[in-house]
Structure 1
Amino acid sequence: MAWVFLFIAGLLEVLWAYSMKLSEGFTRIGPSVVTLVAMIFSFGLLSFAMRSLPLGTAYTIWTGIGAVGAFVVGIWVLGEPATAMRILAAVMIVGGLVLMKLSS
């Protein structure tokens, strides 16, 4: 169950990063509220996952899901550039996440 909590926490990290972008520096109330609520639930689920997963594994995978997820949202939703170098960097992050999962 810890892995499920961790995965959902990572998805919520993507949500709060995206909604933070939409909040325009916390000047828009709706996205600002979504950001704060998603942050609280993301941290809460991360803490549940850390009850049985090692700190280094849980935190690395949580931040990796958030980083790669925000990268994908940036490209697909916000129209950010999908250069070869950026894609390679994301692939390397995913590779690191796979290795971290396999090591635990």
Structure 2
Amino acid sequence: MPWIWLLLAGAVEIAWAQSIKPTDGFTRLPQTLLCLVLMCGAVYLLSRALQDLPVGTSYAVFTGIGTVGAVLTGVVLRHETPSPVALAGLALITAGLVTVHLGTAD
């Protein structure tokens, strides 16, 4: 179950990352409130995972999911174009996340 909490935290972090830009520098109240709710939700879910997983592992996976997910959703939703070098970096991050998961006892 802790890995489920961590995956959910990462998914909410992706949504949170995408919710920042529409706040327009935190000048748009509804968008800012959504951003804050998503931020709190991501941290809450991360805290649930931390009940059973090490902090270092959890935070590395959480931020890795957020990084890869934010880039990929940026590509899909905002038509952003990462460079080939950036894509290689994302592949390395993904490989690292899988490696960390495989190397962690549940």
TM-score, reference length from structure 1: 0.95
SS at match of 1:53: coil
Question: Unpaired segments of 5 or more residues in structure 1?
Answer: none
Runs of 4+ in 1 over 4 A off after TM superposition: none
- What is the match of residue 94 of structure 1? 94
Question: Unpaired segments of 5 or more residues in structure 2?
Answer: none
Paired amino acid for 2:47: S
- What is the match of residue 37 of structure 2? 37
SS at match of 2:78: coil
- What is the match of residue 61 of structure 1? 61
CA distance in 1, matches of 2:77, 2:85: 19
Count of residue correspondences: 104
Q: How does 1:1-104 map to 2 (within 5 A)?
A: 1-104=1-104
TM-score, reference length from structure 2: 0.93
SS at match of 2:52: coil
Identical columns (%): 38
CA RMSD in angstroms comes to 0.9
Paired amino acid for 2:88: L
How big is the shift at 1:99?
A: 0.9
SS at match of 1:61: helix
